Homo-oligomer: A and B are copies of this chain.
């Protein structure tokens, strides 16, 4: 990791100020992931980030702003994982490595929590217009990053011309989201394993022989 994850830098803040601001966002992201946005108060975040209420108020006047920063933080974490570890999902090897990486995360956290972006989506889309817009762009960006890899596989002849990278990318992202939700519900990695393996098997059916 050569640059810090995600967090929007505010130009007017000192280095220390930016660090505190980042600490608040990370604390908020963790709490909102564990217990949901509705149940997380500004006071909870302040407590977790270990700062005073006047400091908190200095950085974030409203929970609403904090929620937007949390979406942006989770987005860059999720999409960063694609880019950093999996060289853009541009081969079957990379697809399988990505699958292992995702399954591994679920096992390590006892299948708790689900997808950080998916759960924000489910909670916020119907009730917070600004958050909805941010989450929608996050998902478009994510889908785009998957699509690019599949298109690359097509262009260099790993997939035959019947493969439609647009459709496959969207179906793969849907399988991932649904698989993560069912794994969370069951506390069992099986759903995410089967959802991803089935889609990879399907993509494999377009392999150029």
Report A's interface with B, CB cutoff 8 A: 34-36, 38-39, 112-114, 118-119, 121-123, 125-127, 132, 135-136, 139, 167-168, 170-171, 173-179, 181-182, 184-186, 190-192, 194-195, 197-199, 201-202, 205
Contacts and interface: CB of A to CB of B under 8 A. Distances in A.
A193 to B, nearest CB: 9
Given A38-B38, A181-B122, A136 B174 contact: no
17 contacts: A34-B126, A38-B39, A39-B127, A112-B126, A114-B122, A118-B181, A139-B185, A170-B195, A171-B175, A171-B194, A174-B181, A174-B192, A174-B194, A175-B178, A175-B195, A178-B179, A181-B181
A113 B136 contact: no
